[in-house]
Amino acid sequence: MKCELTEISKTGIQTYRLENDNGMVAEVITYGARISKLVYQGIDVVAGFDDPEGFRGDNPYFNAVIGRFANRIGNASFTLNGKEYPLYKNDGNNHLHGGKEGFDRKIWKATVVGNCSVRMDYVSCDGEEGYPGNLCVSVTYSLDNEDALCIRYRAVSDKDTVCSLTNHAYFNLSGTFDTALHHELTIRADQVTAIDNELIPHGEIVDIKGTALDFTIPKLIGKDIQNDDTLLKLGNGYDFNYIRNNDTEEPIATAFCADSGIAMDVYTDRPCVQLFTGNFLDGVRGKQVYGFRSAFCLETQGYPNACNVPSFPSCVLRAGEEFRSYTAYLFRKP
Ligand code: GAL
């Protein structure tokens, strides 16, 4: 097992390479604390760029840490302790994935913290993007010999704030990134949060058993994606927040690609996962060309817009308390 600094790009982006005893490799860069490569049995399963500088260009959050708040906040504002906090509007009238310059566009400070672990630290100042409180965030990537990439999130603020962190990895388990539609997917969730036409949830929870959104029984992503389902039309494909049924011992989701024989289990302690089928990908050129629906994301998260919906579990992080969560992507050949 090893973890080492392998490259410094022309603007100073550092690349850390983690390798386990089976030869599985994860590369993580200090720009956005992004995963730049994830190679399992010779196949790179994440979208990205060979040159880390490429991540600075136009791409929809490729494999980045998302914060201070993953997904959308309606009307780009929330009220906490009686005070209204206006946020940056970067998605129409709404706030998406942390704002104009979210955690995905920051340079993080890297520290090797184990024989196959690197910690990325970032301090988000009071008022950044409109959020209250200085928030110290650390995200630790570890690769183990079970072939799991584990991401541990920690954050502490000096004022009450809101916090929900995720990673926006784009996967394709065939490695060719032609299409994501041939992956067989299981999501252990009977419900999603309903969304309005700006993709904002307001509290309504929908039962999806037996509908085109249902992945409780393994199903190809492409099977029902053209269905007339109202939500599917709104999302222009899958772009929904699934609420887990199961406890954290079991994966919240599993994807499988018959072409490569690779399966990926997603374990997390978060209550939800956003399934996004790359409906906004439009031919970004990187290691490959990433066209419409050529990759899928399983973004573990809290409830989107929770800071405006009292019936959703709270996303408030009280001053001095620690936000902690983890997500692990486990790779195997069944
Ligand atoms: C997803 C979100 C999508 C889209 C995408 C980035 O997390 O659910 O609606 O914004 O990120 O292109």
CA-atom Rg of the chain in angstroms: 19
Q: What is the pLDDT of residues 89-120, one digit of tens each?
A: 999 999 999 999 999 999 999 999 999 999 99
Atom in ligand 1 nearest the alpha carbon of residue 61: 6
Atom in ligand 1 nearest the alpha carbon of residue 280: 12
Kindly report the protein residue whose alpha carbon is nearest to atom 6 of ligand 1. 60
pLDDT surpassing 90 at residue 266: yes
Predicted pLDDT of residue 208: 97
φ and ψ at residue 225, rounded to 5 degrees? -65, -25
**Average pLDDT over every residue of 122-134:** 98
Ligand 1 atom closest to 239 (CA): 8
285 residue type, one letter: R
**Ligand 1, pocket-test mutation among 72, 97, 272, 276, most atoms within 8 A of CB:** 276
31 pLDDT higher than 90? yes
Cα 71 to middle of ligand 1, angstroms: 7
Question: How far does the centroid of ligand 1 lie from the alpha carbon of residue 145, in Å?
Answer: 32
Give the Å distance between the CA of 113 and the centre of ligand 1.
31
pLDDT value at position 8? 97
Please compute the mean of the pLDDT values over residues 116-131 and round it to a whole number: 98
Predicted confidence at residue 281, as pLDDT, reads: 96
pLDDT for 102 equals 98
Q: Give percent above pLDDT 70 in the chain.
A: 100
Res. 46 pLDDT band, cuts 50 70 90: very high
DSSP string spanning 251-313?
-SEEEEETTTTEEEEEEESSSEEEEE--TT---EESSSEE-TTS-BEEEEES-TTGGG-TTSP
Distance of CA 252 to the CA centre of its chain: 14
Residue of the CA atom closest to atom 8 of ligand 1? 239
pLDDT at 246: 85
From 94, 96, 234, mutation site for ligand 1 pocket: most ligand atoms within 8 A of C-beta: 96
Domain, as residue range, for 328: 2-332
Q: What's the rounded mean pLDDT across residues 26-42?
A: 98
Q: How many distinct structural domains can be found in the chain?
A: 1
Q: Is the peptide bond before 68 cis (omega within 30 degrees of 0)?
A: yes
- Tell me the pLDDT tens digit for each residue of 181-224: 999 999 999 999 999 999 999 999 999 999 999 999 999 999 99
Give 220-254 pLDDT, tens digit per residue: 999 999 999 999 999 999 999 999 998 889 999 99
How many Å lie between the centroid of ligand 1 and the Cα of residue 169? Answer: 11
CATH of the domain at 106: 2.70.98.10
Q: What's the CA gap between 222 and 181, in Å, rounded?
A: 4
Mean pLDDT (the chain, rounded): 97
User: Is the separation of the CB atoms in 328 and 160 below 8 Å?
Assistant: no
Catalytic residue numbers?
Answer: 168, 299
pLDDT confidence of residue 269:
97
User: What DSSP element (H or E) covers 233?
Assistant: helix 230-235
**Alpha carbons 50 and 42: distance in angstroms, whole number:** 16
> Terminus-to-terminus CA distance in the chain, angstroms?
24
167, pLDDT greater than 90: yes
Pocket test of ligand 1: the residue of 168, 200, 231, 239 to mutate, having most ligand atoms within 8 Å of its CB, is 239
Angle at 149 between CA 99 and CA 152, to 5 degrees: 55
d(CA 54, CA 74): 31
Q: Which of 140, 169, 125 is nearest to 36 (CA)?
A: 169
> Over 90: is that where the pLDDT of 123 sits?
yes
User: In Å, how far from its chain's centre is CA 208?
Assistant: 22
Whole-number pLDDT of residue 287 = 97
Over residues 316-324, mean pLDDT: 98
**CB neighbour list of residue 310: distance below 8 Å, 6 or more residues apart:** 203
Measured from the CA of 70, which atom of ligand 1 is nearest? 7
Name, in order, each residue with C-beta under 8 angstroms of 242's C-beta and a sequence gap of 6 or more.
187, 189, 191, 192, 215, 252, 253, 272, 273, 274, 275
What was the pLDDT predicted at 169? 98
Which pLDDT belongs to residue 172? 98
Amino acid 4: pLDDT? 97
Mean pLDDT of 60-74: 98
Task: Tell me if residue 64 falls in helix, strand or coil.
Answer: coil
Mean pLDDT across 303-325: 98
183-188-191 Cα angle (round to 5): 110
Ligand 1 site residues, Cβ closer than 6 angstroms: 60-61, 71, 96, 199, 239, 274, 276, 280, 299
